[in-house]
Structure 1
Amino acid sequence: MKKLINVADNVVEEMIEGMVMAHPDRIKRVEGTNVLVRKDAPVDKVAVISGGGSGHEPAHAGFIGRGMLDGAVPGQMFTSPTPDQVLECIKATDSGKGVFMIVKNYTGDVMNFDMAAEMAGMEEIKVESVVVNDDVAVENSSFTTGRRGVAGTIFVEKILGAMAEEGKSLEEIKAYADKLIPQIKSMGMAIKACTVPSSGEESFHLEDDEMEIGIGIHGEPGIRKEALKPVKGIVEELMDKILAELDLSDGSEIALMINGMGGTPLQELYVIAHDAHVYLKDKGIATHKTYVGDYMTSIDMAGFSLSVIKLDETSKKYLDAPADAIAWREV
């Protein structure tokens, strides 16, 4: 294993401290916790928070900032943050108008965020949440009941964060969030598995001429292994599966995310963007915006995921709203 680290057990701690040192004007750490929040938190509005195991950077702490998240809770590597850590994030961001939690559909995340919400309720803090389940590859996995939450989560953070920034109430954000989730679908693949620092081993193995279709973001393998083929065919397969679950017959616009898994060159992501746009044009589907880069990774996995959101007037408005977060780049 080759990694630019000091001691494997200290990676998460040193990463969190490094983020604060690099961006002291944007984020701060809640003392005695792994919780990161906006420098100006709490802000007089509904707070929007998220979190999950480390290893997915820049998600989620990289999306803390005006117009996106007010706080994020990094757990240990590929491990859900504990309920008490999530509670500290809720308390640090609440301004009295409530806290909205964006949770990826993994058993540990759902359980621990729900427990934190119950604990917050005992302290008379209003909390609502939504569970993101955008991955169309598998219905159940070793990490989930139902579909996994993957890179489409970033669309949720952007749109709901902008709603909160505008001053929408907790109830308004919850009502729209429930409508938004079914409109986001994702699927990914890999040509090389990730290596978790503590183990030093690949999470699964691929030969040089193989690829894995339908991978998750915790290093888990996908639905099948097969011979590597040109990216055009891979894009077509993933997009066929994604679009089969989105009714675009009304001529709706979409936004597209080509998400790197941590070890994929930007050059290759733009080749993927090319083929995805050719595919969508041939299908007569209008693309409002395209996001290309690392948004939700799996440490150093080589591969990519595609996420598509069917836009309505509300989601388009808030996707286009300004945001100032470390890892967010306006298109």
Structure 2
Amino acid sequence: MKKLINRVEAVVDEATEGLGLAHPDLVRVHLEPRYVARADAPVQGKVALISGGGSGHEPLHGGYVGRGMLDAACPGEVFTSPVPDQMVEAAKAVHGGAGVLFIVKNYTGDVMNFELAAELLQAEGIEVRSVLVADDVAVEDSLYTAGRRGVGGTVFVEKIAGAAAEAGASLDEVERIARRVSENVRSMGMALTSCTVPAKGSPTFELGEDEMEIGIGIHGEPGRERMKLRPADEITAMLAGPVIDDLGLQAGEQVIAMVNGMGGTPLMELYIVYRQLAQILKQRGIAIVRNLVGNYITSLEMQGCSISLLRADDELLRLWDAPVHTPALRWGV
């Protein structure tokens, strides 16, 4: 294992501390319990958005804390859910009196711990709602989930719900918008290589030099099929087809598209994938009206990519275009 780390047990704390030192104008970091909060939080009268999950998926979630997105993020250990104490203390630190919305990826540990945190906060008089993200069309159940996994669609939910909260929307309205996004986004990913969790010290799974896995999860969970490596255009079609079909997209519709790297994929290769995705959608009469290409939800150093599509309309586009200023996402400011 070759990694730029000091001690395995210090990886997440040191990375979180580094995030805070790199962006003191945007975030502040608390290590016991561990959370990343918006620098100017609490913002009085604003719904507070909180998300979190295992580390190793950077920039998700800490990189999305800031104006127009999350108020706080709770990083767990690598590929391990954060604990309820983190969510509770983060919520108390950023609650501005208008309620809290938890954005939760559909992994068993995340769901259970966020639910417990919500109960504890409700008992203290803080109103909490939760929206589940389950956008992965690859498999229905996995090692970590009951139902579909929450993957790249989380970025869309955090951005668009964050814009609504920033504009002063009520808790009911922010929850409604977050659910709209969650219901209208789908994703699918693939891997060319495994990744190595620092505490384990060896690859999560083995892939031959000429093999790839279609439908892989962001923790290295098995996908739909392991097969011989194919050209990028064929791989793109294997990912895009199920996403388009599951959404039921029709000619004349609009989407926001994301081609996401898994941490170890050159940007050059992601643009090759985006090129083919754009051609596939154009042939179907579906317009890409906004896009992201790059590393937005990763799996340590895994080589591979994922495709996410969000069915877009005027309301969602307006909120997507709204200003955002976080360590990892910034426009309109």
Equivalent residue number for residue 12 of structure 1: 12
Deviations 1:146-175 (A, max 9, x none): 000001100000000000000000011112
Equivalent residue number for residue 51 of structure 1: 52
SS at match of 1:35: strand
Deviations 1:203-236 (A, max 9, x none): 1111111000000011222121100000100111
The offset of 1:330, in angstroms, is 3.9
2:257 is equivalent to residue 256 of structure 1: yes
Q: Mark the runs of 5 or more structure 2 residues left unpaired by the alignment.
A: none
The offset of 1:252, in angstroms, is 1.9
2:231 is equivalent to residue 242 of structure 1: no
Equivalent residue number for residue 288 of structure 1: 289
2:51 is equivalent to residue 27 of structure 1: no
The offset of 1:312, in angstroms, is 1.8
The offset of 1:28, in angstroms, is 0.6
Deviations 1:99-136 (A, max 9, x none): 11100000000000010000000110011110000000
Residue 324 of structure 2 aligns with an amino acid whose one-letter code is A
The offset of 1:180, in angstroms, is 2.4
SS at match of 1:305: strand
Residue 42 of structure 2 aligns with an amino acid whose one-letter code is P
SS at match of 1:251: coil
Residue 58 of structure 2 aligns with an amino acid whose one-letter code is E
The 10-residue stretch of structure 1 (307-316 or 152-161) with the greater mean CA deviation from structure 2: 307-316
For residues 226 and 307 of structure 1, what CA distance do their matches in structure 2 show?
22
SS at match of 1:192: coil
Q: Indicate conservation of the 8 Å contact 1:28/1:38, yes or no.
A: yes
For residues 31 and 77 of structure 1, what CA distance do their matches in structure 2 show?
15
Q: Indicate conservation of the 8 Å contact 2:250/2:284, yes or no.
A: no
For residues 31 and 303 of structure 1, what CA distance do their matches in structure 2 show?
32
Q: Indicate conservation of the 8 Å contact 1:30/1:92, yes or no.
A: no
Equivalent residue number for residue 121 of structure 2: 120
SS at match of 1:53: strand
For residues 313 and 27 of structure 2, what CA distance do their matches in structure 1 show?
32
Residue 320 of structure 2 aligns with an amino acid whose one-letter code is L
The offset of 1:324, in angstroms, is 0.4
Q: Indicate conservation of the 8 Å contact 2:142/2:221, yes or no.
A: no
Total equivalences in the alignment? 331
SS at match of 1:30: strand
Q: Indicate conservation of the 8 Å contact 1:104/1:131, yes or no.
A: yes
For residues 262 and 31 of structure 2, what CA distance do their matches in structure 1 show?
31
Q: Mark the runs of 5 or more structure 1 residues left unpaired by the alignment.
A: none
Residue 178 of structure 1 aligns with an amino acid whose one-letter code is R
Equivalent residue number for residue 96 of structure 2: 95
Q: Indicate conservation of the 8 Å contact 1:164/1:173, yes or no.
A: yes
Deviations 1:279-325 (A, max 9, x none): 11111110001100110000010000000000122111101111001
The 10-residue stretch of structure 1 (265-274 or 26-35) with the greater mean CA deviation from structure 2: 26-35
Equivalent residue number for residue 166 of structure 1: 167
What is the root-mean-square deviation in Å for CA atoms of aligned residues? 1.2
Q: Indicate conservation of the 8 Å contact 2:190/2:214, yes or no.
A: yes
The offset of 1:247, in angstroms, is 2.7
The offset of 1:43, in angstroms, is 0.7
Equivalent residue number for residue 3 of structure 1: 3
Residue 33 of structure 2 aligns with an amino acid whose one-letter code is T
Equivalent residue number for residue 306 of structure 1: 307
For residues 204 and 31 of structure 2, what CA distance do their matches in structure 1 show?
33
Residue 91 of structure 1 aligns with an amino acid whose one-letter code is K
Equivalent residue number for residue 147 of structure 2: 146
For residues 251 and 105 of structure 1, what CA distance do their matches in structure 2 show?
31
For residues 330 and 35 of structure 2, what CA distance do their matches in structure 1 show?
23
SS at match of 1:245: helix
The 10-residue stretch of structure 1 (132-141 or 240-249) with the greater mean CA deviation from structure 2: 240-249
Distance 1:313 1:250, change over 3 A: farther
SS at match of 2:247: coil
Deviations 1:54-106 (A, max 9, x none): 00000000001100011000001111100111111111110111111100000
